[in-house]
Amino acid sequence: MTTKYMAERIEIQVFNKIKKAKRGALFFSDSFLSKENFEGVRKALQRLVKKGELIRIATGIYVRPEIDPVIGAVTPGIDEIAKAIAKRDKARIIPTGVYALNRLGLSTQVPLNVVYLTDGAARKVKIGKRSITFKKASPKNVATIGEISTLAIQALRTIGKDKASSDEISKIQELLQKEKPTHLQHDYRLAPEWIRQIIKPVLNQNRE
């Protein structure tokens, strides 16, 4: 069996696995690797990138892009990439800092370095000119479950105690009204006392 035949066979196997997933799905090089074919898979992924079947968005991370008729290839956003990494690593992640403020509409700033708390491994992943930093945190700090309440707690932590304006507090409380009551009650218990005082009126309103 020739080296060329082996390379072509590995490429076909890799591409067949990729084609089974919907466009926009993320792939990790270690999803295909084994000790026996590490180099073969790496070269197969490189060839698929050259052919335009895949886009390499970070070291070891690829996507078979969705194709928009106007703008062409569409790659996943930072949050999709972070969630895919967390799913692979079986870890929990929580958006923090300016990114949490931006997601809630409290800031128009789009950070180049997006930071997530995680109970998985600490690491930094370069995505073009941007990056994702996973910062190791205690289990309690990644235990919130509500999408809105999680962002609200992290946004308030970023703003700081007694530093949130009345407009920011009103906006956060308005957004929290859209959170599932059971999720809000769960996350309320995990928040610092000063943040609980901001969440409490929404909880009381839900009980009425």
- At 87-142, the pLDDT tens digits run 999 999 999 999 999 999 999 999 999 999 999 999 999 998 999 999 999 998 99
Identity at 9, one-letter amino acid code: R
Does domain 3-74 correspond to CATH entry 1.10.10? yes
What is the spatial distance between Cα 163 and Cα 51, in angstroms, rounded to a whole number?
52
pLDDT confidence of residue 53: 86
CB of 126 closer than 8 Å to CB of 173: no
Q: Where do you find CATH 1.10.10 in the chain? A: 3-74
Which alpha helices (DSSP H) does 51-162 contain, by range?
78-89, 97-104, 147-159
Query: Is the predicted pLDDT of residue 1 greater than 90, yes or no?
Result: no
How many Å apart are CA 178 and CA 190, to the nearest integer? 19
> What pLDDT is attached to residue 63?
92
Q: How many CA atoms lie within 13 A of 136 on its CB side?
A: 4
Pull the structure tokens for residue 164. 């949130």
pLDDT in tens, 13-63: 888 888 888 888 898 888 776 545 777 788 888 888 998 889 999 988 999
pTM assigned to the model: 0.86
Split at pLDDT 50, 70, 90, the class of 10 is confident
Give the bridge partners for 67, in sequence order.
73
User: Tell me, what's the pLDDT at 108?
Assistant: 94
- How many Å apart are CA 110 and CA 129, to the nearest integer? 12
